[in-house]
Amino acid sequence: MLFSELGLGPDVLRAIEDKGYTQPTPIQEQAIPCVLQRRDVLGCAQTGTGKTASFTLPMIDILASGRARARMPRSLILEPTRELAAQVSESFETYGKHHKLSMALLIGGETFTEQVKKLDRGVDVLIATPGRLIDLFERGNIMLNDIKVFVIDEADRMLDMGFIPDIERIVSKLPKNRQTLFFSATMPPEIRRLADAFLTDPMEISVAPPASPAETVTQAMVLVHEMDKRKALRHLLQTEDVKNAFIFCNRKRDIAVLQKSLERHGFNVGALHGDMVQSKRTETLERFKQGEITLLVCSDVAARGIDVQGLSHVFNFDVPLTPDDYVHRIGRTGRAGKQGRAFMLATPDDTKLVGAITRLIKREIPMIAIDGLETAEFGEEDSSSRGRGRGRGGRAAKSEGRPPRGGREERAPREERAPREERAAREERPVREERPVREERSSRDDRPVREERQPRESLAAAEARRNNDPRRDRDRDRRRRRDDDDDDVPVIGFGDHMPAFMLRSARPRPSAETSTEQSQEG
């Protein structure tokens, strides 16, 4: 199929040609005609599938006629992270270069002044992270009642980051008569309910089974003892043909340690995580994209959607804490038909996490050995991680008290464990942060423990409770802070908020998982 067969206007087609695309991707083929017909769309698609163009291209055509009024944007796109928001705005610039659409990017970490000035002039396309949008709305800088097209991107990531209450609030300010485009990489029941609440008779498009890693990524895993991980990484960096790579760590503070260690060994390496000021984040990513930095040690802020053309490698220095994150991390490479390579460094303490990943991707990750390093074994006790300051019930503590398989894990008694600082000093290792609640795992199924579901209550009662609850402001502030620090924060569930979509019954679905979930909700 050709782009010209999808119903797009000549100026958009010209921009596509300038960009060098010859054929629409499957999601573009299906979504573009629907969006142009002004239908709602529920898209289950990962980044790397051409999803962004599937909504930006038709939106440009739709918005080409008409004019924006001051403070009343005509379309709204919500993104979970600033990097993704910035990337979508670049797409609008690329594909809208033959149009005169005005655009504003509202993201945390930047001053309000410029953003407010733009809003005052009137914008056709508003791209925002939820927290900053709510801030500006509350200050009266923005009105949402002229939104004609509303896009929620990366809905499952929004859920993970605790943004759903903010999104519900934003949706309640939008006109009923609007077009809604909803994209998510995975479709768990919570996301399905949310989609049911926001969309009207949507066209459902699924371009890849949820969470399937790209076939273009060659995966491998190295099983080593904790103390050998850096050596193993250096070996891979030296023996692989690495043009550029993301190296993912689970914790921000480990990023700095690894970056310094790699620098000491002569690698050209930068860092990217949510504690950095936005200007530094943007600059680092830009330098990496330009090839000035070859390796980027990063947190999951770089895992979703970040599009670096031709990234040759992804290294998981830590096994990700949720299997979905594995899929997103390795999806940074092997994009747009190119080949990519993804390596993961696992330790014996990662047995369960690796099991969860292989269950999700429905295949084993091939194991490779590294010359000169002892290959560890899953399930064995990693004596190298014992007392390594993993922190609270961390892996070290777990391995010390590890029960037989399948049993409930217990922490070793306190007196049996040396203080973390002492252990760290002894072994010249950095003290790791206490792990946040999110990383507690249910011993039954390896999924992060979610908060208990709240009992059902009526919408009116829930709203009244929220309005009267003094903790509401505190929770809002917390969410806002999270928008400024949008990676590896602990998930706090819904806190005191009862989202409206939780009060709706889910669409009946045949899978066993869904029926269990529904029966539990009672």
Non-local (6+) Cβ contacts of 424 within 8 A are 388, 389, 430, 431
Nearer to ligand AMP, 28 or 351 (CB): 28
Calculate ∠ Cα 191-197-200, nearest 5°.
115
In whole angstroms, how far apart are CA 196 and each of 147, 166, 461, 507? 20, 17, 22, 8
Non-local (6+) Cβ contacts of 35 within 8 A are 41, 54, 55, 58, 59, 62, 179, 181
Q: How far is the CB of 201 from ligand AMP (least distance, A)?
A: 25
21 makes contact with ligand AMP (CB under 6 A): yes
Which among 43-51, 70-78, 268-276, 350-358 is the span making contact with ligand AMP, rule CB under 6 A? Answer: 43-51
Nearer to ligand AMP, 22 or 519 (CB): 22
119 makes contact with ligand AMP (CB under 6 A): no
What whole-number distance in Å separates Cα of residue 321 and Cα of residue 226? 16
Q: Which of 390, 518, 488 is nearest to 157 (CA)?
A: 488
Q: Which of 194, 124, 123 is nearest to 154 (CA)?
A: 194
* Residues in region 49-88 near ligand AMP by CB under 6 A: 49-53
Nearer to ligand AMP, 22 or 65 (CB): 22
Q: Which residue has the tokens 């930047």?
A: 110
In the list 8, 12, 25, 385, the residue contacting ligand AMP (rule: CB under 6 A) is 25
Which amino acid is residue 429, in one-letter code? R
Q: How far is the CB of 25 from ligand AMP (least distance, A)?
A: 5
Non-local (6+) Cβ contacts of 357 within 8 A are 319, 320, 323, 326, 365
Per-residue x/- track, 324-363, ligand AMP (CB under 6 A): -----------xx---------------------------
Nearer to ligand AMP, 50 or 389 (CB): 50
What whole-number distance in Å separates Cα of residue 6 and Cα of residue 58? 9
Q: How far is the CB of 336 from ligand AMP (least distance, A)?
A: 4
CB atoms within 10 A of CB 476: 19
Q: How far is the CB of 207 from ligand AMP (least distance, A)?
A: 10
What whole-number distance in Å separates Cα of residue 507 and Cα of residue 458? 19
Nearer to ligand AMP, 334 or 389 (CB): 334
Is 142 in contact with 107 (CB distance < 8 Å)? no
In the list 8, 12, 29, 48, the residue contacting ligand AMP (rule: CB under 6 A) is 48
Nearer to ligand AMP, 21 or 378 (CB): 21
In the list 24, 130, 131, 320, the residue contacting ligand AMP (rule: CB under 6 A) is 24
Q: How far is the CB of 52 from ligand AMP (least distance, A)?
A: 3
Nearer to ligand AMP, 310 or 403 (CB): 310
Q: How far is the CB of 385 from ligand AMP (least distance, A)?
A: 36
User: Tokens in use for 357?
Assistant: 């990943």
Q: How far is the CB of 305 from ligand AMP (least distance, A)?
A: 6
Number of residues interacting with ligand AMP: please give it, by CB under 6 A.
16
Which among 41-49, 394-402, 471-479, 488-496 is the span making contact with ligand AMP, rule CB under 6 A? Answer: 41-49
What whole-number distance in Å separates Cα of residue 367 and Cα of residue 348? 13
Residue 484, CA atoms < 13 Å, CB-side half-sphere: 14
454 alpha carbon, distance to own chain's centre: 26
Q: How far is the CB of 30 from ligand AMP (least distance, A)?
A: 13
Per-residue x/- track, 369-408, ligand AMP (CB under 6 A): ----------------------------------------
Which among 17-25, 59-67, 206-214, 370-378 is the span making contact with ligand AMP, rule CB under 6 A? Answer: 17-25
In the list 31, 32, 47, 482, the residue contacting ligand AMP (rule: CB under 6 A) is 47
Query: Which residue's beta carbon is nearest to the bound ligand AMP?
Result: 52
Q: Which of 284, 240, 291, 293 is nearest to 263 (CA)?
A: 293
What whole-number distance in Å separates Cα of residue 376 and Cα of residue 223? 5
Q: How far is the CB of 49 from ligand AMP (least distance, A)?
A: 5
Q: How far is the CB of 92 from ligand AMP (least distance, A)?
A: 12
Non-local (6+) Cβ contacts of 462 within 8 A are 498, 500, 503
30 makes contact with ligand AMP (CB under 6 A): no
Nearer to ligand AMP, 6 or 149 (CB): 6
Q: How far is the CB of 304 from ligand AMP (least distance, A)?
A: 10
In the list 11, 240, 275, 307, the residue contacting ligand AMP (rule: CB under 6 A) is 307
Q: What is the DSSP letter of 448?
A: B
What whole-number distance in Å separates Cα of residue 105 and Cα of residue 3? 28
Residue 303, CA atoms < 13 Å, CB-side half-sphere: 27
Which among 48-56, 232-240, 276-284, 409-417 is the span making contact with ligand AMP, rule CB under 6 A? Answer: 48-56
Nearer to ligand AMP, 23 or 516 (CB): 23
Q: What is the DSSP letter of 178?
A: -
In the complex, the residues that contact ligand AMP under the rule CB under 6 A are 21, 23-25, 28, 47-53, 305, 307, 335-336
